[in-house]
Amino acid sequence: MIAHSLALAGRSLTKTRRNPGVLMDALILPVLFLVLFVYLFGGAVAGSTQEYLQYLFPGILILTTVLAGQIATGMSIVVDMKKGVFDRFRSMPVSRSSLLVGSVLADSVRYVIAVVVLFGVGYLLGFRVETNAAAAAAAAGLAIAFGFALSWITVLVAVLLRDETMVSTVGFLLPFPLVFGTSMVAPAETMPDWLRTWADVNPVSHAIDASQGLLLGGPVAGPVAMMLLWGGVFLAVFGTAAVTAYRRLT
Amino acid sequence: MTYTIDVEGLTKSFGPTTALAGIDLQARPGTVLGVLGPNGAGKTTAIRILATLLRPDGGRAVVDGLDVVRDAVEVRRRVGLTGQYATVDEDLTGTENLVLFGRLLDLPRDEARARARRLLDRFGLAEAAGRRASTYSGGMRRRLDLAASLVGDPSIVFLDEPTTGLDPGKRDEMWRTIRSLADDGTTVLLTTQYLEEADALADEISVIDHGRVIAHDTPAGLKQLVGGQTVVVRPRDPDLTTAAAGIVERSTGHEVDRVRRGVVTAPVADERTFTEIVHELERGGVAVTELALRLPSLDEVFAALTRPEAVPA
């Protein structure tokens, strides 16, 4: 099963290398948000663009990995199912879960590229890690793990709906309430009650708190534990549901 | 008699639509079974169940002695699937596709490569081996698809409409390949809407319509099953056509169907009548350039079988 997953992940990587366009939305969108928010709202929200960049960057890191996981993962699965490539695999003695795991594994490469690019752009704009390199690496690693866990939501949608348009819509829209409905862009205290309530219960808030703690200093242990817990819940619930739904296709 | 493919009373519905209403199929080892039917007859559903891609609602399907539901994993080791709904990855090269399938079948990397090379050679794709499948022509893609289903050296191959959309030259090429498969001892189940294709490739044919088998026989037997045979006589001297028609009418006891452009055709009941016609023509001094006992074409067979009143209730 591991060998099969790796062989299938290798296939996905070859495909990504040959169609680099898939990578672009995962790379460009977060950078676009970063630049947009920092220069449009930075002065108004935080007094200076520089201070706002420090505040915003940890959240954008989470946005990056969530976006990287959402759109392309589901899309490639839908395309495989429609074109019959999955049928060929399914007619072979290959475990059903390794098909999904291989696909998701290959995406981890995309996460790493997206995160590296984001840190590069952030550095050029003037973002500086206020803790240390190890904490920054931990922030990046956790963000990737979190994005991976959430990506099973679109995998489930892909398996259930098998429609490119639906999957790209869900994959594109879902990150907004989840990632923006937090203190990522502005402190939650300034929000209307209903939004602050959502931000308080929103699992992604923990991820952003953890990211801020690791990159800028501040409480780390609590938010990281909550982030891991929620990541585990997403993985268990949506991962299991996706694999079950996929098996049920027969 | 043990069958390599043995299907009994297989049923499958998709919501209110009945795709298979209790179908029986049998294929002897090393033969080609043609499953012939129009679009929507249930051919693809049957193949998908046999290839373990779909679960049947009822009935039993056994492949190589293994139940396709209970022993699905083992069945997958022994069958290859090619056709409308199983395909290769267009972003990968011919070699990459076949090596990937080899790896998924747990072949060591070297063996997977060697097999890929052999299959690409065999299917005339050696030169295109390093090109992405998206650049292949329709015929090449079909051949790569077929090669992909043979990576695991299966003893049974399912071909779902393997020549749909191919031009005649490419189709003949595919036919030769399929025949060579059967010659090597592989059991082949082939679905097709082309009567000509079933006639050319299959040892036995099951005709299916609306999810059930409406006839099963050898191609020749099937042709005999529906409608009689026809005698065709073409006198060398066109002026003798009327004389020839008279002889045919006396022998068969039927009026001739038509006398057109010097050819006389009439239905005959059995071979003896045909022999008698040959005899009488000779005695009457009517030399012929064409004298044949023609079986009805499969098209005619099919038309007859799918006429509502011909379908047994």
Residue with the two structure tokens 């203190």? A183
Does B313 have pLDDT greater than 60? no
Rounded to an integer, what distance in angstroms lies between the CA atom of residue A194 and that of residue B134? 51
Decide which of A132 and A185 is more confident.
Answer: A132
- Residue B209 half-sphere exposure, CB side, CA atoms within 13 Å? 16
- What pLDDT is attached to residue A237? 95
Rounded CA gap, B90 and B94, in Å?
A: 9
Q: What is the model's pLDDT at position A115? A: 93
pLDDT value of residue A51: 87
Question: Regarding beta strands B79-83 and B156-160, do their DSSP bridges make them parallel or antiparallel, or are they unpaired?
Answer: parallel
- Asked whether the beta carbons of B267 and B254 are under 8 A apart, the reply is yes
Q: Is A15 on the interface with B (CB under 8 A)?
A: yes
Q: Are B39 and B192 in contact (CB under 8 A)?
A: no
Greater pLDDT, A83 or B132:
B132
The answer to whether residues B217 and B204 touch, using CB atoms and an 8 Å cutoff, is: yes
Scanning A115-134 for CB atoms below 8 A from B yields none
What is the C-alpha separation between B72 and B227, in angstroms, rounded?
A: 42
pLDDT (average), residues B70-89: 85
Which residues sit opposite A181 in a β-bridge?
A: none
Residue B105, min C-alpha distance to chain A (Å): 7
A2 has a chain B CB within 8 A of its CB: no
Token pair in block for residue B300: 């005619």
8 Å CB contact between B4 and B156: yes
Question: For residue B226, which amino acid is it?
Answer: V
pLDDT for B311 equals 44
Give the pLDDT of residue B251.
84
> What do you get for the CA distance between the two ends of chain B, in Å?
29
Nearest to A18 among B54, B79, B91 (CB): B91
How much is the pLDDT for B85? Answer: 59
Q: How confident is the model at residue A67 (pLDDT cuts 50, 70, 90)?
A: confident
Q: Are strands B32-36 and B204-209 parallel, antiparallel or unpaired?
A: parallel
Q: How many Å apart are CA B264 and CA B255, to the nearest integer?
A: 11
Q: Which of the pair, B207 or A169, is modelled with greater confidence?
A: B207
Q: Is the pLDDT of residue B231 over 90?
A: no
* Span A205-231, average pLDDT: 91
| CB < 8 Å to B160, chain A | none
Is residue A93's pLDDT more than 60? Answer: yes
User: For residue B207, what pLDDT is reported?
Assistant: 92
**Highest mean predicted confidence (pLDDT) among A8-22, A90-104, A230-244:** A230-244
Residue B67 has pLDDT above 90, yes or no: yes
**CB-CB contact of A55 with A93 (8 Å):** no
- Report whether B147 contacts B159 (CB < 8 A): no
Q: What is the 3-state secondary structure (H, E, C) of B57-104?
A: CEEEEEECCEECCCCHHHHHHHEEEEECCECCCCCCEHHHHHHHHHHH
- Tens digit of pLDDT for each residue in B109-140? 999 999 999 999 988 899 999 999 989 988 88
Q: Report pLDDT for B310.
A: 47
- Alpha carbon B220 to its chain centroid, in Å, reads 13
pLDDT at B75 over 60: yes
In order of B94, B252, B274, B284, the CA distances from B264 in angstroms are 54, 13, 13, 16
Contact B85 A87 (CB under 8 A): yes
Residue B298 has what pLDDT?
65
- Confidence band for B228, pLDDT divided at 50, 70 and 90: low
A1 at B interface, C-beta within 8 A: no
Q: Where are the alpha helices (DSSP H) in chain B?
A: 43-50, 72-78, 94-104, 109-122, 138-150, 168-183, 195-201, 219-225, 241-252, 271-283, 298-306
B91 — contact with chain A (CB < 8 Å)? yes
Is A162 touching B (CB cutoff 8 A)?
no
B123 vs chain A: nearest CA distance in angstroms? 19
- Nearest residue to B154 (alpha-carbon basis) of B301, B4, B308: B4
- Mark which residues 282-301 of B lie under 8 Å from A by CB: none
Contact state of A14 with B91 under an 8 Å Cβ cutoff: yes
On the CB side of B119, CA atoms within 13 Å amount to 27
What is the per-residue pLDDT for B307? 67
Q: What token pair was written down for B168?
A: 């005649």
In contact, B94 and B125? CB cutoff 8 Å: yes
- The pLDDT of residue B309 is 56
How many CB atoms lie under 10 A from the CB of residue B85? 18
Q: Could you give the C-alpha distances from B280 to A21, B162, B229, in angstroms and in order?
A: 79, 47, 19
Joined together, the tokens standing for residue A214 give 């690791």
Q: Using DSSP, state whether A170 is helix, strand or coil.
A: helix
Nearest residue to A217 via CA among A137, A132, A140? A132
CB nearest to A11's CB, from B55, B84, B92 = B92
The pLDDT tens digits for A184-208 are 888 888 888 888 888 888 889 999 9
Q: Which of A215, A250, A220, A246 is nearest to A59 (CA)?
A: A215
Mutate to test the interface with A, among B53, B88, B90, B92 (most CBs of A within 10 A): B53
Q: Considering only CB atoms, which chain B residues are within 8 Å of A10? A: 100
Q: Amino acid identity, residue B156?
A: I
Per-residue pLDDT for A26 more than 90? no
Tell me how far apart the alpha carbons of residues B177 and B119 are, in angstroms, rounded to a whole number. 12
Q: Choose the most confident range, by mean pLDDT, from A17-31, A103-117, A151-165, A225-239.
A: A225-239
Residue A12 near residue A76 (C-beta atoms within 8 A): yes
Nearest Cα residue to A121 out of A182, A67, A205, A61: A61
Give residue A225's pLDDT band: very low, low, confident or very high (50, 70, 90): very high
* Model confidence pLDDT, tens digit, residues B241-260: 888 888 888 888 777 776 77
Please identify among residues 29-58 of chain B the ones whose CB lies closer than 8 Å to any CB of chain A.
Answer: 51-55
**Closest-CA residue to B93 (of B138, B141, B139):** B141
How far out from the chain centre does Cα B282 lie?
A: 40
Per-residue pLDDT, B312? 46
| A142, pLDDT greater than 90 | yes
When pLDDT is cut at 50, 70 and 90, the band that residue B93 belongs to is very high
Contact A238, A203 (CB under 8 A): no
* Cα–Cα separations (whole angstroms), residue A249 to A246, B76, B82, B104, B296: 5, 16, 19, 21, 43
* A144-A148-A149 Cα angle (round to 5): 120
**Most B CBs within 10 Å, among A15, A92, A247, A248, to test the B interface:** A92
Rounded Cα distance between B49 and B60, Å, is 10
* Of A162-176, A192-206, B217-231, the least confident: B217-231
For residues A148 and A72, what is the distance between their CA atoms, to the nearest angstrom?
Answer: 12
- The reply to whether residue A91 touches residue B85, judged by beta carbons under 8 angstroms, is no
The nearest CA of chain A is from the CA of B133 a distance in Å of 12
End-to-end CA distance of chain A: 20
- Residue percentage of chain B with pLDDT more than 90: 43
Domain ranges of chain A: 2-249
For residue A180, the 8-state DSSP code is I
Q: Chain A contact for B84, CB < 8 A? A: yes
Average pLDDT over residues A227-236: 93
pLDDT at A163 > cutoff 80: yes
Is B87 an 8 Å CB contact of chain A? yes
Contacts of A84 in chain B (CB under 8 A): 84-87
Q: Judging by beta carbons within 10 Å of its beta carbon (0-12, 13-18, 19+), is residue A107 exposed, middle or buried?
A: buried
Looking at the complex, report in whole angstroms how far the Cα of residue A102 sits from the nearest Cα belonging to chain B.
12
Q: Taking residues B45-68, report their average pLDDT.
A: 93
- Neighbouring residues of B116: CB distance < 8 A, sequence distance ≥ 6: B94, B95, B98, B99, B102, B129, B151
Q: How far apart are CA B116 and CA B96, in angstroms?
A: 8
CA A206/CA A103 separation, integer angstroms: 27
Nearest Cα residue in chain A from B100: A7
Q: List the single residue in B with minimal CA-CA distance to A19.
A: B91
